[in-house]
Chain A
Amino acid sequence: MPLVIERKPLTKLEKTWLPQIIGGLKTTFGYLRKESVTLQYPEERPVIPENYRGVPTLVKDPNGRVKCVSCQLCEFVCPPRAITIDPGEIPEASEQAHVEKAPREFEIDMLRCIYCGLCQEVCPEEAIFLQNVYSVTGTTREEFKYKKEKLLELGGPLPDRHFKWDKKKAAAESGNGGH
């Protein structure tokens, strides 16, 4: 049963415009007493939910290690191709040398990034996270090309849920290493 739009002719009173003017003013003045819904933006900041998709950053585990192993999955999945990774080895002197790889350079072009979050979804190491930063500023194109250091600084350490390297080390010591 369809619903047809009613079209009532205006009454004599409504044709005088007065009920509309009075009703409109009533609505307007009614809002004077209600709580304001606006924010005084730069001073007051909106509450950002936890899963907000802001600036993508690289994170470290609580031991200060870079979690990214430069598997390049994010580079391949990125729809606007904003991520460029130069894979490299972990330096010899490091404790984790020859265990895993690490990016020699990791670059995200924030002007290309569309903040879709696919990189975070595909990352098997949980190394790339979209933070709740929603305003990125700069004056030149070069400034928007975030390098590894900047990304790590923005990301900071993240409480790791699984301490992957410790687990691997324990597995190797007990003879269960390898997959």
Chain B
Amino acid sequence: MNPPSETGSPSPNPAESPRYRTAGYDSDAQLLEVSLGPQHPSTHGVFRMNVALDGEDVVKLKPVFGYLHRNHEQIAEQVSYLGSMPYTDRLDYFCSLSNNWAYAAAVEKLAGIDVPERAEYIRVITSELTRLVNHTSFLGFMLSDMGAWGTVLMYAFREREKILDLFESLTGSRMMGNYMRFGGCRCDLPPGWLEQARKVVDGYPAFLDEMESLIATNEIVISRTQRIGRLPADKAVNGSMTGPCLRASGVNYDIRKVDRYGIYDRFEFRVPLGDHGDCYDRLMIRFLEMRETLKILRPALRDIPEGPVMDPKARQRNLRPPEGEAYARVEAPKGELGFYLISDASDKPYRYRVRPPSLINLTLLEDLCLGEKIADVMVILGTIDIVLGEVDR
């Protein structure tokens, strides 16, 4: 069959042409079914894709997940409100502090707890640092999916390590923060932490410049990402995609701007957008987001006020919020992370539900991959930036 031509093709999007409709292929003996994963190094964990191939072209793709299911939501309904906090770290284990914030915000909404100003600043600082961690390691993983084994990943991990050291001295753990509490944060910043954080933030642009100079004009990267895995804006919105992937398709939707939760209205930053919605946009948008994140971090680290980090009236252990329901969401590095809680005035949530960005972004994988080559499936999956801990919960 003819490869999907890039220009001058009568049908603009090969995925739309009748040849790629999946229905007629079920009885076609020429198709090759490949089971990618669950132990494939590029699937970011235990994730499987059943791919039907016509030659090298993907005609059908069925994501199979659930290998890492840990019953998070049911467990959270069995333990106290505080008891789920360490488990939220393990949803998206790259961004545990954003997860903490989303859950704490949901409980605070449910129980009507205020957060002191210093704690709000710490939350913004930690969750923006988390965004740096996530996007930095994304670059490493994404490029090793593309075949640049090792080097880029090591450069990314070297920078990520500096932020993880900050997290370690603040929360006592590198990745599993368990740091936010209802009505503030567990402990104050250790002495000298702000200076260290400033040093890391000041050193970051140099790393980003280095990475960008290696990636942005690299012909291999460009030919493997540009015009690959295009996602039109309407499809992204229909699939309720959120986060950088949605913005790469050109939809200006950032919950930090839409909801202005926390104290994000005090910071000047812009929302980067892509206009093609292909893999290249989804890759480069992370660079721009990190640069904007640095614009939030600098004033936040400068202006952070003194004061308590916990609301003294807030109860942690025997929290019994009044009957009702609450949904709180934050702009996690991967998209909209929301927690939905129903309280029946007991010490456990009656219903606990997570809206994970990774899972919902992953549901669009087939739309992105149809009509592409099998080798590009890995790149496309890499740009969606999933973490299986959050997909399977």
Contact = CB atoms under 8 A, between A and B. Distances in A.
Interface of A: 1-5, 7-8, 10, 14-15, 17, 19-20, 23-24, 27-28, 37, 49, 51-53, 77, 79, 114-118, 121-122, 130
A3 B271 contact: yes
Contact of B169 (A1, A49, A77, A116): A49
Given A7-B280, A51-B171, 16 more contacts: A2-B273, A3-B288, A5-B248, A5-B273, A7-B226, A7-B276, A10-B219, A20-B219, A23-B213, A24-B214, A27-B210, A53-B172, A114-B86, A115-B176, A116-B85, A118-B82
B275 A52 contact: no
Size bracket, chain B contacts: 35 or more
Interface of B: 79-80, 82-87, 90, 151, 158, 161, 168-169, 171-173, 176, 178, 186-187, 190, 210, 213-214, 217-219, 222, 226, 248, 252, 270-276, 280-281, 284-285, 288, 292, 317
Nearest to A16: B219
Given A5-B273, A49-B168, A51-B187, A10 B84 contact: no
Contacts of A115: 173, 176
B248 to A, nearest CB: 8
A77 B317 contact: yes
Q: Which of A51, A79, A117, A118 has the most CB of B within 10 A?
A: A79
Contacts of B86: 79, 114, 116, 118
Contacts of A53: 171-173, 178
A79 B87 contact: yes
A15 B219 CA distance: 7
B110 to A, nearest CB: 19
Given A114-B176, A118-B82, A4 B275 contact: yes
Contacts of A10: 217, 219, 222
B173 A5 contact: no
16 contacts: A3-B288, A5-B274, A5-B285, A7-B226, A7-B276, A10-B222, A51-B172, A52-B172, A53-B172, A77-B83, A77-B317, A79-B83, A79-B84, A116-B85, A116-B178, A118-B82
B186 to A, nearest CB: 7
A7 B282 CA distance: 13
Contacts of A23: 213-214
Contacts of A37: 158, 161
B172 A122 contact: no
A23 to B, nearest CB: 6
A1 B79 contact: no
10 cross-chain pairs, A with B, having the tightest CB-CB distances, nearest first = A116-B86, A53-B172, A79-B83, A49-B169, A51-B172, A3-B272, A3-B270, A2-B273, A5-B274, A116-B178
Contacts of A121: 186
A75 B138 CA distance: 38
A117 B172 contact: yes
A2 B275 CA distance: 11
A2 B272 contact: yes
A168 to B, nearest CB: 25
A135 to B, nearest CB: 14
Contact of A5 (B210, B213, B272): B272
Contacts of B288: 3, 5
B79 to A, nearest CB: 5
Contact of B273 (A4, A8, A51, A77): A4
Nearest to A52: B172
B191 to A, nearest CB: 11
B218 A20 contact: yes
A49 B219 contact: no
A114 B85 CA distance: 12
